[in-house]
């Protein structure tokens, strides 16, 4: 195996992230990106650029057949997410963290980088002897193997985005009594409106309490509903409140993209050379979406300079636990689970490789967007991402070499 090539590929794929972040840091140090501009860029990314990226990338690459055929990816993604969340809870208890800080740790462990880093590694090793390990056999072309790997990674990206912008938003959302050192609400009007729950009904009250934010359908139903149905109606409205609390522009975009991508008629309208909207609407969204990745890294670097670092230093034990789980514990679990279960799905070493990557790697850069959206743990998230990506090159190289070695021994001769 060409270990030097794997090391070089991992360094190159992670160095791009670090260098763009350093550019943002320098821009902030020179006063080009100040706190006000940084806040505006963050809002632009979350409300415009990220939704465009999610819709254009997910809807174009997903379809119902792919979702059914590649069932091991969503299945193991859920398994790994549950195990990662459990490690976060364990870390919170061992480190004696508050519930809010425990959720921060859970976020860092659950949501890892399954897109840019994985794609960079595939591109780096596709022309080397190491890629032969991930092929189905001597007759399997390496380009076909890489193409399958990219498809597997893109499906993983869909799952990651859906869970990140729903569960991740829930985990990091502000609570009024969360921590005494985070009582100041710095969130925007949009963020506050998204997190403001609708009024609920209590059994000991004679009427439902309504405000101008209560949907008209609820205002009408509450005046006509029979007393026997009030408990059920209250339950439905509570579920509605819970869903509204975590909804945000990126999550709306991901859900719409999933809907469009799995319905051939709708997909034909937005994608394809002969589609009526591809040359205008879709291409515009693709262009805007492409801007989001480098701009997100620039703002991440600027935040490293502009945000105070005291809280990040206080959370170093928690950050260390997240990195331990992401680079050591979860990869070991992932490799073990895949090797044990590989006989139950496609006999494709490339699929095994991608499934192992689902449990490996640093926290996703988009976790910073979650902190910006909810207005919480921004300093701590900057510190977590900085330390994780500073260490990613040597650690991920060791992980990839270990995975390919194990796959080479487990694959049928």
Q: How far apart are CA 404 and CA 10, in angstroms?
A: 14
Which pairs count as long-range contacts for 184-193, CB under 8 Å and 24+ apart, including other chains? 185/375, 186/375, 187/374, 187/375, 188/43, 188/375, 190/43, 190/47, 191/373, 191/374, 191/375
Which helix (H) or strand (E) segment holds residue 409: the answer is helix 378-410
The closest alpha carbon to 253, from 150, 173, 167, 166, belongs to 166
Residues contacting 122, CB < 8 A, separation 6+? 146, 149, 150, 153
Q: How many CB atoms lie within 10 A of CB 124?
A: 21
Residue 225 falls in which region: left (phi positive, over 0), alpha (psi -120 to 50) or beta? beta
SS3 of residue 348 by DSSP: coil
Q: Which architecture characterizes domain 3-195+248-410 according to CATH?
A: Up-down Bundle (1.20)
Whether the model pTM is above 0.85: no
Which stretches of 30-115 are DSSP H helices?
35-44, 50-61, 64-69, 72-94, 99-110
The closest alpha carbon to 361, from 320, 405, 391, belongs to 391
Q: With beta carbons less than 8 A apart as the criterion, state whether 289 and 58 touch.
A: no
CA distances from 236 to 167, 224, 229, 284 (A): 20, 16, 11, 38
The one-digit pLDDT tens for each residue of the chain (413 residues) are 556 766 666 666 666 667 887 888 899 889 898 888 888 888 888 888 888 888 887 787 777 877 788 889 889 999 999 999 999 999 999 999 999 999 999 999 999 887 767 776 776 677 666 677 777 766 767 777 777 887 788 788 878 888 888 888 889 887 654 444 443 444 444 444 444 444 444 444 444 444 444 555 555 555 555 565 667 777 777 777 777 776 778 888 888 888 888 888 888 888 877 788 888 888 899 899 888 878 877 887 887 777 665 566 778 899 999 999 999 999 999 999 999 998 888 788 888 888 998 898 888 888 888 888 888 888 888 888 888 877 776 777 778 778 878 887 776 65
Domain boundaries, the chain: 3-195+248-410
């Amino acid at each position: 195996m060409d270990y030097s090539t794997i090391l070089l590929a991992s360094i190159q794929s992670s160095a791009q992230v670090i260098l763009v972040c350093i550019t943002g840091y320098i821009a902030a140090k020179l006063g080009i990106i100040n706190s006000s501009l940084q806040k505006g860029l963050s809002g632009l990314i979350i409300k415009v650029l990220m939704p465009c990226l999610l819709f254009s990338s997910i809807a174009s690459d997903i379809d119902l057949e792919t979702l059914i055929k590649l069932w091991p990816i969503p299945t193991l993604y859920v398994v790994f997410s549950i195990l990662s969340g459990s490690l976060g809870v364990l870390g919170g208890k061992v480190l004696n963290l508050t519930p809010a800080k425990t959720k921060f740790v859970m976020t860092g462990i659950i949501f890892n980088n399954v897109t840019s880093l994985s794609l960079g590694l595939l591109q780096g090793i596709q022309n080397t002897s190491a890629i032969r390990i991930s092929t189905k056999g001597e007759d399997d072309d390496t380009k076909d193997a890489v193409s399958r790997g990219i498809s597997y990674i893109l499906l993983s990206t869909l799952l990651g985005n859906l869970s990140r912008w729903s569960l991740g938003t829930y985990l990091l959302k502000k609570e009024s009594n969360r921590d005494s050192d985070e009582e100041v609400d710095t969130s925007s009007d949009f963020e506050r409106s998204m997190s403001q729950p609708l009024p609920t009904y209590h059994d000991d009250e004679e009427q439902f309490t309504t405000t101008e934010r209560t949907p008209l359908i609820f205002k009408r139903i509450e005046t006509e509903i029979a007393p026997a149905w009030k408990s059920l109606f209250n339950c439905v409205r509570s579920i509605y409140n819970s869903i509204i609390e975590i909804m945000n522009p990126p999550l709306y975009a991901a859900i719409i993209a999933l809907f469009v991508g799995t319905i051939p008629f709708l997909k034909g309208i937005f994608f394809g050379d002969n589609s009526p909207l591809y040359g205008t609407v879709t291409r515009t969204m693709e262009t805007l979406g492409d801007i989001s990745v480098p701009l997100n890294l620039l703002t991440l670097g600027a935040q490293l300079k502009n945000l105070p670092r005291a809280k990040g230093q206080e959370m170093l034990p928690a950050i260390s636990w997240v990195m331990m789980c992401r680079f050591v514990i979860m990869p070991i679990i992932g490799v073990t689970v895949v090797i044990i279960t590989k006989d139950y799905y496609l006999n494709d070493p490339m699929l095994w490789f991608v499934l192992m990557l689902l449990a490996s790697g640093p926290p996703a850069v988009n976790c910073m967007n979650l902190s910006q959206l909810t207005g919480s743990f921004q300093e701590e998230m900057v510190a977590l991402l900085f330390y994780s990506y500073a260490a990613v090159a040597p650690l991920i190289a060791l992980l990839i070499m270990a995975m390919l070695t194990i796959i080479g021994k487990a694959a049928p001769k």
